[in-house]
A = this chain, B = another copy of it.
Amino acid sequence: MKKFTLAVHSLGNIGSRVVEAALAAPDCQCLGVIRRADSLGTRTQALRGLPEYADLASLEAAQGRPDVIALCGPSRSIPQTAEALLRKGYNCVDSFDVHTDIPQSVMRLDKAAHEGGAVSITAAGWDPGTDSVMRALFEAMAPTGTTFTNFGRGRSMGHSVAARAIAGVEDAVSITIPLGGGRHSRLVYVVLKAGENLADVTARIKADDYFAHDPLEVRQCKDRQELAFAADQSHGVLMERTGASGMTDNQILKFDMRINNPALTAQVLVSCARAATRMEPGCHTLIEVPPIKLLPGERMDIISRMV
């Protein structure tokens, strides 16, 4: 089987799982990991034997040009990083998850991708990502109706990162709890920095756009050790649509998954990296990718197995 080459950009929660998904894929050759210079030599077990580099130029000098780069840094840094790489002609995949900023980011990356003759698949995790495909498919199957996307119970990576960035927060974990009807509450465990108080920090968290729209409870842990219990990576979603196909009501569609959160995001990124080698230049969201391109193998073999 012909292999595509992949470089992993950043070795955090997602990047270390992308390494695993890339090594497990039959048609992927992972060239190595690009990390901040001050991280080199740390958490090396997550490299699983792959080489690490301080920048893309070093990786390329040693390993050749990668077919695709998986961007696994902090979500809010993604558009800028992707834009620069796409302009230079590097195909990129990312799991940018700031829902409200996605349309604007797509237009920005589309321009850069066309300039560089490169492919971007963006917002490609599970939500946004595979859940977006489900929402689109459900609406194509029952165009009138209501879809509820019920997240959790589970640790939200995006919300946890956002909570950690709040002034006065030493560390934090944010748990998403479904309330039904697509509504959620957030339970945030925090370790405060010295001299901070819970009421002020709670007010700052509540003011952040990630938390402003849902019921919020903030609980204080005295240190990181006490916070660790909440660090498990299980998550899930129950997506429900009831609607009408044509003039026929009561069409009931449900998608329910229970998963390790970063492992699924990372796997979607690797499947999208494969797809990126088969797409035309431009920036694509997952609903714009023909599902067959996500799978290894030849067209007629996949049709025989799947259709």
Contact = CB atoms under 8 A, between A and B. Distances in A.
Interface residues of A, number: 69
A141 B124 CA distance: 11
B266 A246 contact: yes
A17 interface: yes
Given A133-B137, A141-B268, 9 more contacts: A23-B246, A140-B271, A143-B271, A143-B296, A251-B258, A251-B260, A253-B257, A253-B259, A289-B290
Contact of A140 (B142, B266, B294): B294
Given A17-B248, A247-B24, A266-B245, A140 B256 contact: no
Contact of A20 (B141, B248, B304): B248
Given A103-B303, A307-B99, A246 B268 contact: no
Given A20-B248, A99-B307, A290 B288 contact: yes
> Interface majority SS on A: helix, strand, loop or mixed?
helix
Contacts of A294: 136-137, 140
A138 to B, nearest CB: 9
B295 A140 contact: yes
A118 B289 CA distance: 21
Contacts of A141: 126, 130, 264, 267-268, 271
Interface string A45-82: 00000000000000000000000000000000000000
B246 A303 contact: no
Interface of A: 17-18, 20-25, 99, 102-103, 106-107, 123, 126, 128, 130, 132-137, 139-144, 244-248, 250-260, 263-264, 266-268, 270-271, 285-292, 294-296, 300, 302-304, 306-307
B139 A307 contact: no
Contacts of A257: 251-254
A102 B292 CA distance: 16
Contact of A259 (B21, B23, B245, B270): B245
Given A102-B307, A137-B291, A252 B263 contact: no
